[in-house]
Amino acid sequence: QSKRAGSHGHTVYQPGMVDRRSADAALADDLAHALDHDELYVLFQPIVDTATGRTLGAEALLRWEHPTRGPIGPDKFIPVAERTGVIIPVGLWVLEQALAQVGTLGADRYISVNLSPRQLREPTIVHDVLAALNRTGVPATRLVLEVTESALVDDDSGIAALHQLRSHGVRIAVDDFGTGYSSLQYLTRLPVDILKIDRSFVATMDGTPSGAAVATAIIYLANVLNMRTIAEGIETTEQAEELRALGCETGQGYLYAKPLTPDALLSRLSASLG
Ligand code: C2E
Ligand code: MG
Ligand code: MG
Ligand code: MG
C-alpha cells in the first residue's frame, strides 16, 4: 500500500525500488489501470510493396505513456501484461482500435494485429475476434493476426482456434519468424499464410550471401509452403533491393515509415505516397 501513493493511483517509483520483482509488480499494477486512465494508444506502421512503395496494410503497435515514467516500450510491458493476464482486455482493446482504422486505410488494405500466446490460449478467443469483426463491420479478410512461434508450439487448442479463425477468412502470420528455435516441421502442419522475417535477419543483410542466409532460407520455405513473406525492420534501400531479388517484395521499416498516429497515417495515404 505504501508505494501506491500517486495522486492518480499509480505507483510512485522510489529510488530504492531496485529489486526486479517489486518493480515488475508495480508495473503490472499500473498497467492494470492504464486502460481506464487513457494511457494506452495504438500506432500504425505501414506495410508496403517495396517495388512501388504502395501501402498494402498496416500493423497496429501498442504504446503506453506512463504518467510519471513517460513512454514505456512494449518490449518491456507486454511480457508483464502477458504474465498477469492484463493482455486479455488490453489485447481486445487493441483489436478494436485497429479495426476502427480500417476505414482510414481505405481500398482493400489490411490491418495486422499482434496476438499474444496468452490471448491465443483464451477459450473465448475465436468468439472474441469474430465479435469484434461483427461490431465494427470489418470483413474477416481484412484482418491479419500475428502470432509467434512459441505461441504455436505445444498449444493444440490455440492451433485449433487459428484454424477456425482462418476458416472465416482471417489470415495468420508468424511474427519474428526464425527466432523461436522451434522445429521447422511444425510449420507444415500449421494454419499459416504469412511468415514475417524478423528484423534481426534483415539487419545482417550486407550484400553477402552469408548476411542474407536466413532471409533466403525463410523466403524459400515460404514459397514451397505457399506462404507469403513480409520483411521487418527494413532501414536501407540496399536491404529492400536485396530482399526483392530474393523474392520478398513486402516489408515494413523506418525506410518507409515509422509507426504513425491515425492522423499521420491518413495524411500519408491521402498524400498518395501510397
Ligand atoms: P513486432 O510485432 O515484431 O513489431 C515490430 C517492431 O519493430 C515494432 O516495435 C516496430 O516499431 C519495430 N520496427 C519497425 N520497423 C523498424 C525499423 O526499421 N527499425 C527498427 N529498429 N525497428 C523497427 P515496437 O512497436 O516497439 O513493438 C515491439 C514488440 O512489442 C512487437 O514486435 C510485438 O511483439 C509487441 N507488441 C506491440 N504491440 C503489441 C500488441 O498490441 N499486442 C501484443 N501482444 N504485442 C505487441
Ligand atoms: Mg508484429
Ligand atoms: Mg515482428
Ligand atoms: Mg519483432
Atom 5 in ligand 1: residue holding the nearest Cα: 232
Structure confidence by residue, pLDDT tens digits, 199-255: 999 999 999 999 999 999 999 999 999 999 999 999 999 999 999 999 999 999 999
CA torsion 193→199→205→206, rounded to 10°? 150
CA-81 nearest atom, ligand 1: 44
What are 20's three cell numbers? 526486479
Whether 88 contacts 72, CB under 8 Å: no
The half-sphere exposure of 151 on its side-chain side, counting CA atoms within 13 A, is 27
Whether 169 contacts 141, CB under 8 Å: yes
pLDDT at residue 220, rounded to an integer: 96
Determine the 3-state secondary structure of 153 from DSSP.
coil
pLDDT at residue 2, rounded to an integer: 39
Residues of the chain below pLDDT 70: 1-21, 272-274
What are 56's three cell numbers? 498494402
pLDDT at residue 117, rounded to an integer: 94
Atom 30 in ligand 1: residue holding the nearest Cα: 74
The residue behind cell 517489486 is: 22
Q: Mutual orientation of helices 237-246 and 213-224 as an angle, nearest 10°?
A: 40
Measure 113 CA to ligand 2 centroid, in angstroms: 7
Q: Ligand 2 is a single-atom ion; what residues have CB below 5 A from it?
A: 114, 146, 175
Instruction: Give CA–CA dist 182/153, Å, rounded.
Output: 7
Q: Alpha carbon 236 to chain centroid distance?
A: 21
Put simply, whether the predicted model's pTM sits higher than 0.90 gets the answer: yes
Whether 45 contacts 262, CB under 8 Å: no
Q: Which of 27, 71, 40 minimizes the C-alpha distance to 12?
A: 27
> What letter represents residue 226's amino acid?
N
Is residue 232 within 6 Å of ligand 1 at its C-beta?
yes
What are 101's three cell numbers? 482504422
pLDDT at residue 3, rounded to an integer: 43
pLDDT at residue 4, rounded to an integer: 43
